[in-house]
Chain A
């Protein structure tokens, strides 16, 4: 009672905005928090330390004495003017072995938002805002008395992005990471190193060398070496689960990245921290499992990795643990010196992200917990103080079966002098691969290279050791005699990962042979990861091979595919003689031929294009290639344009369409008459002809469109004329466009007129003027308002005109503070998340058109998988009503302005020397030629239109918010780790089915009939597919069917569990799978990842209950 009273009193003293959501604050009592854990059988959890002993832990690491070091930041997120810098490095010890910390030492207390700590080298490295510093206690009083700057120049553009996540590699190097908004400029004795955006660094203190390992990722807050020295990272905003980190890998959002690699688990929760479960205390079934906290969802996810090609596949398995306590925010996980697992809990009811005011009272500055997970019936491992061990004893522990002991011993070894003599003698006696690998790392850890060990491991039968040996060569090739020969052999290794490491090594050793050697990997299976690595080295080392090639010297021997790969990767004009020769003499396979044509069109000169064009009569796909060359490269054949004319007589619509485009792009006047004739006289060619004419873009065309838009007897011709005219001369099309819009009662804008009128200020003003004194159906006016509101520079005049002509009453997008409090309360008491999900899934609301939940759905907007667990309710409401208020990083709109004044807005997908690709509101990719671009800016406008929820009743809005607020919390709306089938293609109604059902039954739906149209269908959060939600395909009589196709990514024999087979038929390819009449069933199938391989037909007239498909794993 007293606490409640106190709370009530303190509430009245807070600013009104901060009161919202405060009602949700859970009880901070650690006992209550401990009771809220949901643990698998056999697991126990205990509190190691809590506030006030510690506060706001950010990262933790153990030292060689078994003490827990952590950085603690109460200052986060921003210094208060006049406040002292008083963040801390704390050391926790458990002196009596009961698992609870009973001693705390404040090692340093004058830090500024420290984000990482690593005890090593006789002191501790600490990430401290713009610097990495080294703190040392020189007089033994337990407090740091010496402070040295190790590296400086780290950006601070966002304090949850600043340099973080320290990890010591088995190689003795310090690894550290930075996030998306950070720009770092480090001066090293080897030159300045700059990293823009996210990425991973390595640093060797002995040589002061700092280099970039990998670039990109949004918030890479977890980084780990596996037992064989491969590296992986998690991302606190990217949602791709585990990311495979190999040298020079580039991930999403790396500025200027022309190409990226994806993570291993797209659509997964966002993660902070990463650890691999290891050691004898951990039950067998957990060993080797990767765990990573989903701090938004108050849980710790688990993944299992398996080698696959040059990379890995990663499967999410059941959560390691979860909590129903809303303030549990696990952000770091580490195996401890006793074999238990330790969890750092930032403890906060809200996520302290940038969209919550820096001074919001809900930002907790004083709490924090460390938890310890143990397993019943499993003995703990012996905790050791390695600082007391001799070099000999330390070496013995570097091959311990306990990984934590190996790490602690190696960490301690780095602080000793004269390690090498004993290390050499000891190493020479080792016989097994595992021990030799540890010994190889021991050498590296003390900055030496054990060539003999590298050579012994490179010839191991086990590819994991071969890869580990290559990783050492990657860093120290200058010291490894015979490195070149080792790599030349490894590039043809039977194992894909080893070949990938060979490419990485070559990337470190640029020379005339580096690229030709690397491309030998093309003689083996090439997956996405390998393709990326090869593409990357071709470009990075271009000065070492391209000039030689251009001088006419053989670079790739007789390997044409290697040459084609290199050309495509480089994307630059080089001599193409040898490719033409092979095309002419017909020595290429169809795939090689396709590649050859593609590469010529991508990099060839105007003369090359002429030569290519000559081949078009036999290979009409060349026309498409030439269209792209004209659009993006602004290049057309040097001569022979007249050969285009016969194509304009083609009966094939696709050939005609490409030829028409080329005529316009090339401004090939002799073709104009043919286009005009086709436009006015041939319905099948009308649209394509009009597009070709539009591409001429001259006054003659404009006049033609104007004339036809008014005078053509044929309606379709008039409409097309208006639409195309709007694209080139919107001001002159405005009046006719308004007439078209007035007829658009459903508000679909299928001619994309708004896009045309939003391309420049002049265009939007002309439409605004044409709308004066006119009325529009409210639906189309609303759509126009949404489109205008999400364009990079929203035109005020047009928006006002649309409001007026559509008689739209402006909505209050900014509820008052009192209204907001009421709304929040109603969401809590009245909102029904199940009803909310139905509203969310309504097509007219467009939520599913842009957002995915757990990877199922559209990639345009942020995945909402754990939005409820991370965002306070007021944030959700504001985001729905006024999307521009809060924009997730990575989802800002990019505004591209062309030199001609036109603008494009959308999400930035990629940038290259030739083009920029934007994804617009409809998911459409727009390619813009670099040569047309004036500038590219980040727009403060969200791609999400305001007013999407305007059509909802208040109770529906409340249900929707309630649904969103439940996403990711424990319960019905947390995406399950179970491998459920959640992506489907649903059949749209087609007249053919009624008859087909009569002849073949539901087997008719397995037919590969071209006329069938399929739409993407994602399951509900629970994984359920609802028969009533599927398009209603007609059968005999009053029967309707829901028909959905899907693929199964798991390979080989799989078991599929169906919740209920009632009124359900299932086919694998064309073969029906016999199911029991009703009830649950488990059937065995052969996996097939073709997304249309399996067909499911459910009688939607009779069955209401959902269908749930689950792959059964061990």
Chain B
């Protein structure tokens, strides 16, 4: 019976859809747009509900200002240190699915920066494969920028660059036979989803979430489900879980906990694993809320 279901699904969902399996760990990786998504939960909730009954665990590793080289993840050392940090995070989390969205920062360098960006992306992809061997890697194109009217800058030129980068990451996905989610195209020209032309407001995320689901080739939960009180609670529980995970993997005071002043506070590193049971509890709650949400029609 179950097998039949699966084969039926594979007919409905277009060939380029990301596939989830039960108990998958899904990592969201990228820069500001990914990082801030964890604070509002819309993207994660929409994807989670699209996976229907499959139980998923999401880990948001987005970092403001980050690049395929790990620029924002290093602290006192060169970007390489940030890249290595990501590597060890992925090795530890062992995600089954990695959804990667880079290009928004690099696009400022235009055509001339593209080869370096793509070369860096290749390195990133092989690092993800070697450190976590995920079943699937999905490349997401960066969302377009918005021109909000004077005195805010006109972003039309930048959108041309973003289009260039989006196309390039699409080709990269093709080359590596990876899923490509063309967020840039499904989102299309918009206005009012952001405060600064680049980053979604909470309402912006709400509007953008279905577009990302679409780009991922998934079918969105029903309107009834998404607008339900259960879905709101699910989203809130997701945000709460994300906070706990944030304190766990990206704690404040790292200089003292792990780096060159660890002789002063390294003893407090023991507190970090104390978040694990809290995260697990939060995930149970998420699972329960997801069930009740999906039980609606």
Contact = CB atoms under 8 A, between A and B. Distances in A.
A190 B197 CA distance: 10
Interface string B52-81: 000000000001111000011011100000
Given A82-B278, A885-B263, A892-B260, A187 B31 contact: yes
B74 A183 contact: yes
B292 interface: no
Interface string B182-216: 00000000000001111101000000000000000
B10 to A, nearest CB: 38
B66 A185 contact: yes
Contact of A189 (B39, B155, B263, B267): B155
Given A130-B64, A152-B64, A187-B64, A192 B36 contact: no
A934 interface: no
A192 B252 CA distance: 22
Contacts of A186: 64-65
B267 to A, nearest CB: 7
A187 B153 contact: no
B265 A189 contact: no
Contacts of B130: none
B75 A183 contact: yes
B65 A358 contact: no
B35 A152 contact: yes
Interface stretch (A153-161, A283-291, A983-991): A153-161
A670 interface: no
Contacts of B251: 78, 156
B260 A189 contact: no
Interface string A89-130: 000000000000000000000000100000000000000011
Nearest to B258: A157
B243 interface: yes
A153 B256 contact: no
Nearest to A885: B263
Interface string A739-764: 00000000000000000000000000
Contact of B108 (A155, A159, A192): A192
A671 to B, nearest CB: 42
Contacts of B254: 156-157
B151 A148 contact: no
Contacts of B152: 189, 206-208
A954 to B, nearest CB: 27
A355 B254 CA distance: 14
A354 B256 contact: yes
Given A157-B254, A158-B255, A354-B253, A78 B268 contact: yes
Contacts of B250: 156
A85 interface: yes
Interface residues of B, number: 52
Nearest to B32: A187
A82 B255 CA distance: 22
Residue among A85, A187, A194, A357 with most chain B CB within 10 A: A187
Contacts of A354: 253, 255-256, 261, 264-265
B15 interface: no
Contacts of B271: 78, 80-81
Given A149-B199, A158-B253, A194 B32 contact: no
B265 A357 contact: yes
A558 to B, nearest CB: 38
A185 B253 contact: no
B32 A153 contact: yes
Contacts of A138: none
Nearest to A160: B253
A189 B145 CA distance: 8
B108 A185 contact: no
Contact of B36 (A149, A181, A357, A940): A149
A188 B64 CA distance: 11
Given A162-B252, A207-B152, A355-B264, A82 B64 contact: no
B1 interface: no
A148 B195 CA distance: 9
B65 A185 contact: yes
Nearest to A188: B196
Contact of A187 (B198, B243, B256, B268): B198
Q: Main SS of chain B's interface residues?
A: loop
A81 B36 CA distance: 22
Nearest to B155: A189
A157 to B, nearest CB: 5
Contacts of A207: 151-153
Given A153-B65, A940-B260, A78 B252 contact: yes
Given A157-B253, A354-B265, A81 B247 contact: yes
A409 B197 CA distance: 30
Interface string A512-537: 00000000000000000000000000
A886 interface: yes
Nearest to B274: A81
A1016 interface: no
A162 B253 CA distance: 10
B75 A157 contact: yes
A1038 interface: no
Interface string A65-97: 000000000000111111001000000000000
B163 interface: no
A358 B268 contact: yes
Contacts of A79: 247, 252
B278 A192 contact: no
Nearest to A194: B65
Nearest to A189: B197
A532 B105 CA distance: 32
B188 to A, nearest CB: 19
Nearest to B268: A358
Residue among B31, B65, B268 with most chain A CB within 10 A: B65
Contacts of A113: 252
A150 B254 CA distance: 24
Contacts of A183: 72, 74-76
A999 interface: no
B72 A185 contact: yes
B268 A359 contact: yes
Nearest to A936: B77
Contacts of B201: 148
A85 B243 contact: yes
Contacts of B260: 892, 938-940
Interface string A325-368: 00000000000000000000000000000110111000000000
Interface string B215-237: 00000000000000000000000
Interface string B105-135: 1001000000000000000000000000000
A680 interface: no
Interface string B136-157: 0000000001000001110100
A77 B271 CA distance: 14
Contacts of A1079: none
Residue among B152, B196, B275 with most chain A CB within 10 A: B196
A82 B274 contact: yes
A354 B66 CA distance: 28
Contacts of A77: 253
Given A78-B252, A129-B252, A187-B105, A886 B247 contact: no
Contacts of B72: 153, 183, 185, 194
A447 interface: yes
Residue among A82, A185, A884 with most chain B CB within 10 A: A185
B199 A187 contact: yes
B104 interface: yes
A684 B243 CA distance: 72
A155 B253 CA distance: 9
Given A155-B75, A181-B75, 10 more contacts: A78-B252, A153-B65, A157-B252, A158-B253, A162-B252, A181-B76, A184-B65, A886-B264, A938-B76, A940-B260
3 nearest interchain CB pairs? Answer: A185-B65, A153-B64, A81-B274
13 contacts: A78-B268, A113-B252, A129-B252, A157-B76, A157-B252, A185-B63, A185-B66, A185-B72, A187-B64, A187-B105, A354-B261, A447-B151, A938-B260
